[in-house]
Amino acid sequence: MDPKTLVTTALTTLADEDDPAPAVERFYSPDFIQHSPMLPAGRDSLVPAFSAFKSAGVKYELMRVIAEGDLVAVHARAHGLAEVPVVIFHLFRVENGLIAEHWEAMMEQIMDTVGGRDMVDGPTEVTDLEATEANKKLVTQLTEEAFIGGDWSNLDAYVNSDKLLQHDPHIPDGASSVPAAFALLEAAGTPMTYRALHRVVAEGNYVFTQSEGDCVGKPHAFCSLFRVADGKIAEHWDVVAELPEPEHIPHDNGLF
C-alpha cells in the first residue's frame, strides 16, 4: 500500500470503527513519534484519544490529501472538537508500510472571512503530476524569499497576480493583498515573522509547506497549501496555529 493510500485508509477506518485499537495496531508503527501539541508521545496514547473523539461525536472531513515520497499532507475539517468546525493540517511520515511520525496544526474555522471564501472549499483534484518538481521549487523559493526573507518585490514571478484565490480568512483575493497584510501587522506593532521552513510536500498542482515563526508576539505554526496553475500560484489555504508553552506540550519530541 502506497503512503497516500495507507494514510487515507487509516483515517477513514479510524473514523468508521467504534473500537480504534485494531486500526491503531494495523496502521501505526510501534515506534510511532508524535509531534502534535495536544497528544502524548507514543502509539499507546492514540487509542484513548481516538476513543474520546468517537465518544464526543467528532466527525472528520478529508478535504485534500497529497503525498511525496514518505510524507503525506492532509487538509481536513473536524466537527465536534469545538463549538465551531476546526480546520486542520496533518503531516504524516510513513516507514515500512506504517505511520511512523505525525505533525499537526489546527485553528477554529472563521466563517466571516474577508474575501468571502470558505477556509476549505475549492478544487480538490490532483493534476499536472509532471509539474511536481517545478511547482515545489516555485513555492519553496517564494516562501524563503518573501515569507522568511521579507522580499516581496518579485511576487509577480510566483503568483497569478489579481487572479489569486485566497482562503485565508483575514486576506482578500489578489497577490498584492498578502504583503499588504504583513505590512499592516508590522505597522500595528504585531508583526507576523516566519523563522524557518521545515518541510515541503508536493504532488502535481498542490504544494504544502510547514513553517514556524511568530505572530502577535507568540510562537506559531504556519501551514499552507498552494494550488499552482500554469506555473504560478493560483489558490492558497492555510492554518495559523498558536503553539503552547513548552511546559504544556505533552511530550519531548518537539513540535517540528
pLDDT digits (tens, 9 = 90+) for 26-36: 999 999 999 99
Whether residue 39 is predicted with pLDDT greater than 80 in this model: the reply is yes
- Checking if the pLDDT of 208 tops 80, the result is yes
Contact predicate 165/234, CB 8 Å = yes
As a whole-number percent, the residues of the chain with pLDDT over 90 amount to: 86
Decide if pLDDT at 216 tops 90.
no
Q: Is the whole model's pTM more than 0.75, yes or no?
A: yes
Residues 67, 2: contact at Cβ < 8 Å? Answer: yes
Q: Which residues of 78-111 are buried (b: 16+ CB within 10 A; e: fewer)?
A: beebeeebbbbbbbbbbeeebbbbbbbbbbebee
Query: How far is CA 151 from each of CA 180, 207, 215, rounded to the nearest angstrom?
Result: 12, 21, 18
Band the pLDDT of 181: cuts 50, 70, 90.
confident
Q: What is the pLDDT of residue 72?
A: 98
Q: What is the pLDDT of residues 69-112, one digit of tens each?
A: 999 999 999 999 999 999 999 999 999 999 999 999 999 999 99
Q: For the segment 41-74, what is each residue's pLDDT rounded down to a tens digit? A: 999 999 999 999 999 999 999 999 999 999 999 9
pLDDT, average across residues 203-230 = 96
Give the full edge-to-edge strand order of the sheet including 86-95. 28-34, 98-108, 86-95, 71-79, 59-68
Question: Is the four-CA dihedral 45, 61, 212, 248 of positive or negative sign?
Answer: negative
Q: What is the pLDDT of residues 239-256, one digit of tens each?
A: 999 999 999 999 999 999
Per the prediction, the chain carries an average pLDDT of 95
Mean pLDDT of 128-146: 98
Amino acid letter, 124: T
pLDDT at 245: 92
